[in-house]
Amino acid sequence: MSAAPTAAAPASPSPTIAVKAKPVTTRPPNEAGLIPILEYHRITPKPSPYDRSAAQFRGDLERLYREGYRPIALQDLLDKKIDLPQGASPVVLTFDDADVSQFRYRPDGTIDPDCAVAILEEFSRKHADWPVRATFFVLPDSAFGPAKERTKKFRYLRETLGCEIGNHTVTHRSLRSLSDEAAQHEIGEAVQKIQAILPGTSVDTIALPMGISPKDRTLLAKGTFAGRAYSNKAVLLVGANPSPSPHSKEFAPLRLPRIQAVEGDSGITDWLNRLQKSESAYVSDGDPEKVTAPAS
Ligand SMILES: [Zn+2]
């Protein structure tokens, strides 16, 4: 945000004068409220019921912005570090399956303006208080199309945009159908493949294919494949609710519900309507050091 020019400019800048930002909404603080974690798949001109068109995705971002939502990183949710201005509500954006429609280069090497990454960047350029924050749960063998672009794309997501890369297993099979050993193979090998694409990538969150857990749920939090241990501090489900606040007793990082970015019951429009009407969403008090919740 740029300050308006003043009539008489001071001789030297006064960095100690902090201007209190205007509240994003007039809603009362509720830092025990609900937080939508949105789940996107493909961004495509002819969307199936599980996909979104570029226009729909832009519309989702506009609506979220208008209603006072601002994006936070999944890691910040897990770390309970929600630093938003007064009256703002956090939203977490997640993308599953790493379809090329999420991140595509055109033949001239520029990013396709209708892929998810370009739409996020475009929105952030237009709205200074909407940074690019998203987690991409990838299938490493097919992530974002052409193999030769994969390292560049992972690096761009992590290092240029500050996005996160999460685990979506190697083959997207139902983990419940697998032996304990095979389930650890799916999870642990995906981590190793992601780190082979971009060394140094920390992978400590997983989105369950189809939302299905392995028979032994403890293998989600930690396990071993090929002599290397993996661990996850968050497990993301498929449906169909907002997450409790990390300041609430109900917050369960190893079972984080998500809201699918689809129409219909419990989809994005339904849930944003419900949160708007019930005033049950998390609303920031503007002070990251303090947790403000209405007395219940
Ligand atoms: Zn998936």
Global pTM reads 0.92
CA of residue 257 to ligand 1 center, whole Å: 14
- Asked if the model's pLDDT at residue 8 lies above 60, the reply is no
Residue with tokens 């299905």: 212
Q: Rounded to the nearest whole angstrom, what is the distance from the C-alpha of residue 209 to the centroid of ligand 1?
A: 5
| Domain map (residue ranges) of the chain | 37-169+243-278
Q: Which of 93, 104, 206, 99 is nearest to 153 (CA)?
A: 104
For residue 19, the CA-to-ligand 1 centroid distance in Å is 44
> Percent of the chain having pLDDT more than 90?
89
- How many A from CA of 122 to the centre of ligand 1? 26
Model confidence at 249: pLDDT above 70: yes
Confidence of residue 7 (pLDDT cuts 50, 70, 90): very low
Rounded to the nearest whole angstrom, what is the distance from the C-alpha of residue 97 to the centroid of ligand 1?
5
Q: What is the band of 294 on the pLDDT scale with cuts at 50, 70, 90?
A: confident
For the segment 28-39, what is each residue's pLDDT rounded down to a tens digit?
999 999 999 999
Q: Are 142 and 169 spatial neighbours (Cβ–Cβ below 8 Å)? A: no
| Cα 172 to ligand 1 centre (Å) | 6
189-233 pLDDT, tens digit per residue, is 999 999 999 999 999 999 999 999 999 999 999 999 999 999 999
Tell me the CA–centroid distance for residue 252 and ligand 1, in Å. 21
- Beta-carbon contacts of residue 77 (< 8 Å; ≥ 6 apart): 35, 37, 90, 92, 243, 246
Ligand 1 geometric centre to CA of 13 (Å):
51
Nearest to 76 by CA among 162, 156, 160, 191: 162
CA of 227 to the centre of ligand 1 (A): 26
How far apart are the CA of 26 and the centre of ligand 1, in A? Answer: 37
Residue-level pLDDT at 14: 52
Confidence of residue 295 (pLDDT cuts 50, 70, 90): confident
Q: How far is the CA of 197 from the centre of ligand 1 (A)?
A: 20
224 CA → ligand 1 middle, Å: 22
CA 36 to ligand 1 centroid distance, Å: 18
pLDDT on residue 19? 60
- pLDDT of 131 above 50: yes
Using the mean position of ligand 1's atoms as its centre, give its distance from the Cα of residue 276 in Å. Answer: 28
Question: What mean pLDDT value characterizes the chain?
Answer: 93
Span 175-185, mean pLDDT?
98
Contact 238, 210 (CB under 8 A): yes
Region for residue 74 given its phi and psi (left: phi exceeds 0; alpha: psi -120 to 50; beta: otherwise): alpha
- Asked if residue 61 has pLDDT above 50, the reply is yes
Q: Ligand 1 center to residue 74 CA distance, Å?
A: 18
Distance (angstroms) between ligand 1 centre and the Cα of 249 equals: 29
User: Residue for token digits 């050091």?
Assistant: 289
Look at residue 291 in the predicted model and tell me its pLDDT.
94
